[in-house]
């Protein structure tokens, strides 16, 4: 119990220092494990942890970015400020280079799958639009992560309407790529929704 609290503060401070990426990745992994172990005890650290994990999404190293995304997904169960977090992440997608966009999409999908209560309709609509827009960019990892985020949105919104927006978006592009994007979205829906809703 108390040990979790004692170690979290120093780890948050250290991860901001100029350590090699391997050290940062290990600290992010440790913080994620501590969230799992100490959940409610870490409530006071949530704002600092959130800032730390969001910063990690823009790290030059892919491993650090993805550890940040995973940690953010775990933290969301404790966070009370999911709406502004989701808005900030969605806004950052517009100008993000592919590596950062990929990590941000992964983080958003994790947030939507793990958050305890829904977002406002306006914020959810912006997340959906951003995800659908990234389905057909020229980077396969980004495309896959965007499909995963579209699937995660299905937990909180009307699925037929969501699929219509995907169809409309992919019609504008290359036919084969469009079919691939739709297939990825359907696979993501299978991961997100209970079996009864996928029939």
As a three-state string, the secondary structure of the chain is: CHHHHHHHHHHHHHHCCCCCHHHHHHHHHHHHHHHHHHHHHHHHHHHHHHHHHHHHCCCCCHHHHHHHHHHHHHHCCCCCCHHHHHHHHHHHHCCCCHHHHHHHHHHHHHHHHHCCCCCCHHHHHHHHHHHHHHHHCCCHHHHHHHHHHHHHHCCCCCHHHHHHHHHHHHHCCCHHHHHHHHHHHHHHHHHHCCHHHCC
pTM tops 0.85, yes or no: yes
**pLDDT for 2:** 77
Q: Model confidence over 136-188: pLDDT tens digits?
A: 888 999 999 999 999 999 999 999 999 999 999 988 878 888 899 999 999 99
Q: Give the residue-averaged pLDDT of 17-22.
A: 87
pLDDT at 32: 95
Kindly report which listed range (3-7, 65-69, 124-128, 152-156) carries the lowest average pLDDT score: 3-7
């Amino acid at each position: 119990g108390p040990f979790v609290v004692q170690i979290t503060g120093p780890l948050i401070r250290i991860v901001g220092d100029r350590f090699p990426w391997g050290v940062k990745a290990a600290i992010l992994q440790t913080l994620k494990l501590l969230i799992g172990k100490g959940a409610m005890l870490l409530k006071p650290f949530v704002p600092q942890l959130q800032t730390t994990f969001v910063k990690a999404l823009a790290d030059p190293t892919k491993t650090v970015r993805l550890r940040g995304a995973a940690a953010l997904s775990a933290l969301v169960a404790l966070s009370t400020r999911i709406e502004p977090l989701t808005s900030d992440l969605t806004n950052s997608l517009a100008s993000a280079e592919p590596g950062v966009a990929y990590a941000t999409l992964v983080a958003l999908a994790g947030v939507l799958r793990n958050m305890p209560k829904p977002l406002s309709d306006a914020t959810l609509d912006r997340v959906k639009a951003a995800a659908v827009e990234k389905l057909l960019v020229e980077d396969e990892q980004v495309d896959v992560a965007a499909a995963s985020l579209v699937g995660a949105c299905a937990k909180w919104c009307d699925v037929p309407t969501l699929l219509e927006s995907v169809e409309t978006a992919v019609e504008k592009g290359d036919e084969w790529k469009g079919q691939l994007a739709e297939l990825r979205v359907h696979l993501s829906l299978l991961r997100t929704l209970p079996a009864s809703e996928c029939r």
